[in-house]
Amino acid sequence: MPEGPSIYILKEDTQLFKNQKVLKIQGNTKVDLGHLEGKKILGLKSWGKHFLICFKGSFIRIHLLMFGSYRINERKESPVRLSLQFKKGELNFYTCSVKYLEEDVHAYYNWSVDPMSEEWDPRYVYKLIRSNPERMICDVLMDQEIFSGVGNIIKNEVLFLTRVHPEEMVSSLTPKKIMKIIKVARNYCFDFYKWKRAFVLKKHWLIYKAKKCPECDVPVSLEHTGKGKRRTFFCENCQNSV
């Protein structure tokens, strides 16, 4: 489920709980949240892959990791990790990471690295990338402090769309190419969002899980690239920016 655009959808679909009082909190999370019963939710936000339920001076951070899921006004069979019940409706999370932070959410997160945020700042992201010359671009794209919300699928697609080899070092990319990657990453996040909403995401994958390059028909390479050793599908022929 969970790359940034999926969490963005979660945020949008839970806005009905904004300004609602939490009547009951349940679930098998080890985090003690009982004191939040009776408190009003001031906002439901996302930062990359983080989903944030905001109260006065504090917030709950949900991360769905690889297998997390949620239900709005529905339940699953499996044990609920965190359940928030309201006068009308409920919000349930399964197999996710739950944290509670007594901080102001805006002091905690920098939204200028979230491509789906109105505060996203491409020039700031550009500077961050340039300050990592000795890293491979495939790792930088997955760095949540630089591209918050970009996951392995988005990484693969952005590298293909920009024709950049995943193992290319930042230091050998031109300023123009870096800016291209930044812009395409944001644009692809919104495409991902749009296709996910329409349940047509998979058919738009160009390189991820592809057998042959859609551009030149050469067999797609699959390697575990970079420090992250995450799987990367790419075309040796087209992604030759070196």
| 200 counts as binding DNA under rule CB under 7 A | no
Q: How far is CA 146 from the centre of its chain?
A: 12
Question: Least distance from C-beta 87 to DNA, angstroms?
Answer: 28
| The one among 20, 26, 69, 221 contacting DNA by CB under 7 A | 69
| 115 counts as binding DNA under rule CB under 7 A | no
Question: Least distance from C-beta 76 to DNA, angstroms?
Answer: 6
| 1 counts as binding DNA under rule CB under 7 A | yes
How far is 128 from 55, CA to CA, in rounded Å?
31
Q: Which of 216, 217, 160, 211 is nearest to 185 (CA)?
A: 160
| The one among 8, 22, 41, 48 contacting DNA by CB under 7 A | 48
Nearer to DNA, 22 or 140 (CB): 140
Q: Which stretch binds DNA (CB under 7 A): 90-98, 100-108, 121-129, 165-173?
A: 90-98
How far is 175 from 150, CA to CA, in rounded Å?
21
| The one among 8, 105, 115, 151 contacting DNA by CB under 7 A | 151
Q: Which of 64, 234, 91, 230 is nearest to 149 (CA)?
A: 64
| The one among 30, 32, 34, 66 contacting DNA by CB under 7 A | 66
Nearer to DNA, 78 or 174 (CB): 78
| The one among 17, 22, 33, 49 contacting DNA by CB under 7 A | 49
| The one among 24, 38, 67, 72 contacting DNA by CB under 7 A | 67
Start-to-end CA distance of the chain, whole Å, equals 33
SS3 call for 30: coil
| 94 counts as binding DNA under rule CB under 7 A | yes
Q: Is 217 left (phi over 0), alpha (psi -120 to 50) or beta?
A: left
SS3 call for 108: helix
| Strands of 69-72's sheet in order across | 24-26, 82-85, 90-94, 69-72
Contact 25, 33 (CB under 8 A): yes
> Which residues in this chain contact DNA in the complex, by CB under 7 A?
1-3, 6, 48-49, 63, 65-67, 69, 76, 78-79, 94-95, 97, 142, 144, 151-153, 202, 227, 229-231
